[in-house]
Amino acid sequence: MDIRTKRLRNVFEKSGLTQTEVCEKTGINKGALSSYLSGRYFPKQKTIDKLSKVFNVSINYLMGFEPEHSQRVDDSDLTGITNISFPASKPVPILGDICAGEGTWCEENFEGHFFIDSSVKADFCVRVRGDSMIDAGIFNGDLAFIKKTYDYTNGKIYAVRINSDCEAVLKKVFWQEDTIILNPCNADYEPIVTDAEGMTVIGECVGVFHSTISMI
C-alpha cells in the first residue's frame, strides 16, 4: 500500500469520524473520499490541505515526506538555518541532488514539490548526497532548502558551482583576499580552495528537513 494512502487511512481511523462527517467538514464528495481511502486515487493539493486540517496533521505527513517521529538535531552550528518540521502551506520545487562530499556530482531534475511554511524564504530544495556537512546538522539524504542569491557572507552555508556547471557542492563559504575557501563541516574532508572566477553562488541554505531515507 502506498505510504500516502496508509497514512490517510491511519489518521482517518484515529480521528473517530465517519466518512459522512469528514465530507461535511471538508466539502469532499463521499465517493471521492472512499476512493482516497481505498488507494484508488490520491487527492490533489487543495484536498490534502482540507484533510490535513480536519485530521490535525501536516501536509508533509500525509504526503509521506515527514517521518512518523521527527527528531531535531543540535543546530548550534546552523545560525539562521531552520530545521523544517512544521505544518506546511507553500510548495517548493525539489530540484534533484547536490553533493556534500568531494564535490564531483550534481543533478538538477525536477522531482515534485515539498510543502513548507511560508515564513521560510526558500526558492527550491535539493537532496543532500554525502556526509561532509554532518557537523552542521546536514546529513546524507536530507533536503536542503536554498534561497537564490549571487552574493555571500563569510561563514554561511551555500550551494555553489565550482569549475563547471555540473560540479556543485554545499559548503561553508569563506573569502580571504583573492581566495575562496569552501569549508566542509566534517574533519574527514579537506576544504576546497578556488577563486572568485572559479565559483558561482547558487543560493544560501536557509533550512534543512531531516529525511529518514539513507541515500547511497
Burial 168-181 (b: 16+ CB within 10 A, else e): bbbbbbbeeeeebe
3-class SS of residue 65: coil
Q: What's at 77, amino acid-wise?
A: D
CB atoms within 10 A of CB 208: 26
Q: What is the 3-state secondary structure (H, E, C) of 76-91?
A: CCCCCCEECCCCCCEE
Residue 68 grid coordinates: 512518523
Residues designated catalytic = 132, 171
CA gap 6, 161 in Å, rounded? 40
Under DSSP, the state recorded for 42 is: -
CB 4 within 8 A of CB 57: no
